[in-house]
């Protein structure tokens, strides 16, 4: 089986569609995104691995707040062997689920409560045993995300489908922008670590806690770069509570994008490994419906 290390210079080969951001009217939300705490080496893995080629092995670096694998799952060299498309598909479904929730909120003023709880809870899970643990140890918790992922991979990117693709790709691109901002990472990690104390007093889906998450997004993420333009019903988007929910969900989308990178996700896979992603997503959905 062919295995390889994807070089960061591959990013220059991406077609313009992955970076294209058409102009829409609607609510403007800060969108530069985050990758939690970073340290030079973890489990003996050099964090500069992406800049070099190594034969027949794929390496991934796990960040302290969101480790995607336990040490027992890694070789003595600190390298993870091959790509696990189940893990990649789950993380990508997490990103897509956030995109779907943003769209529901912007157009309808409400969204699927169970999916919202799964996405927001994932922000708090800073020490997961594995990828599925981030989303409550159930593929069913990502049913909406899996359906959205299949729609994005198979659609012509028109109408509402184009919105979902734009939100998803924007989250992926902006996660990379945040990766190199050490000050923002440290501040964000500190804010995330304090959320458990908030949950001692407020419910996960309470207005107060959602406002706390939205505040993190505004204080840390919005300062980092371009904004995601959320489109929908104008009267809905004027509602401050809906704005807070959208920001909280975008924060969850970045958490999933961080995980996606950690488990070996790459934008090139959306072009060259599309059939694998579709097959794995379909298999997971069939288990959800069983």
The tens digit of pLDDT for each residue in 161-192 reads 899 999 999 898 878 887 788 998 888 889 99
CATH domain 27-289 topology: YcfC-like (1.10.3890)
pLDDT of residue 15: 36
- pLDDT tens digit string along 40-74? 332 233 333 333 333 333 333 334 455 444 333 33
Phi, psi (deg, nearest 5) at residue 168 = -65, -50
Best CA proximity match to 179, nearest among 84, 257, 264: 257
pLDDT of 139 over the 70 cut = yes
Best CA proximity match to 220, nearest among 242, 190, 241: 190
pLDDT of residue 224: 77
248 in Cβ contact with 216 (< 8 Å): no
- pLDDT tens digit string along 201-254? 999 999 999 999 999 988 888 887 788 899 999 999 999 999 999 999 999 999
Give me the mean pLDDT over the 20-43 stretch: 37
pLDDT of residue 124: 94
pLDDT of residue 170: 87
pLDDT of 26 over the 60 cut = no
Which residues does residue 27 pair with via DSSP β-bridges, in sequence order? 230
Best CA proximity match to 131, nearest among 285, 264, 7: 264
- pLDDT tens digit string along 78-133? 444 467 999 999 999 999 999 999 999 999 999 999 999 999 999 999 889 999 99
pTM of the model: 0.74
pLDDT of 289 over the 60 cut = yes
How are beta strands 45-46 and 41-42 bridged, if at all? antiparallel
Task: Say how far apart CA 61 and CA 42 lie, in whole Å.
Answer: 7
CA distances from 56 to 5, 75, 192, 288 (A): 8, 14, 37, 34
Phi, psi (deg, nearest 5) at residue 117 = -60, -40
% pLDDT > 90, the chain? 52
Best CA proximity match to 195, nearest among 221, 214, 180: 214
């Amino acid at each position: 089986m062919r295995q390889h290390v994807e070089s960061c210079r591959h990013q220059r080969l991406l077609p313009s569609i992955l970076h294209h951001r058409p102009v829409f009217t609607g609510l403007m939300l800060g969108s530069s995104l985050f990758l939690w705490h970073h340290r030079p080496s973890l489990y003996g893995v050099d964090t500069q691995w992406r800049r070099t080629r190594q034969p027949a092995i794929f390496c991934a670096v796990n960040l302290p707040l969101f480790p995607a694998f336990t040490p027992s799952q890694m070789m003595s060299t600190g390298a993870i062997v091959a790509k696990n498309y189940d893990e990649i598909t789950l993380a990508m479904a997490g990103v897509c689920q956030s995109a779907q929730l943003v769209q529901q909120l912007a157009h309808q003023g409400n969204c699927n409560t169970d999916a919202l709880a799964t996405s927001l809870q994932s922000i708090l899970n800073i020490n997961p045993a594995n990828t599925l643990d981030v989303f409550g140890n159930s593929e069913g918790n990502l049913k909406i995300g899996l359906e959205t992922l299949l729609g994005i991979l198979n659609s012509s990117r028109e109408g509402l489908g184009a919105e979902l693709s734009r939100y998803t790709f924007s989250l992926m691109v902006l996660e990379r922008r945040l990766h190199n901002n050490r000050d923002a990472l440290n501040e964000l990690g500190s804010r995330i670590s304090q959320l458990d104390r908030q949950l001692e007093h407020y419910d996960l889906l309470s207005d107060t806690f959602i406002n706390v998450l939205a505040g993190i997004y505004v204080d840390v993420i919005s300062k980092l770069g371009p904004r995601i333009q959320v489109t929908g019903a104008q009267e809905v988007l004027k509602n401050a509570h809906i704005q807070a929910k959208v920001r909280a969900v975008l924060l969850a989308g970045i958490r999933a994008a961080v995980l996606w990178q950690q488990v070996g996700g790459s934008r090139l896979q959306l072009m060259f490994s599309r059939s694998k992603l579709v097959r794995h997503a379909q298999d997971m959905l069939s288990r959800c419906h069983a």
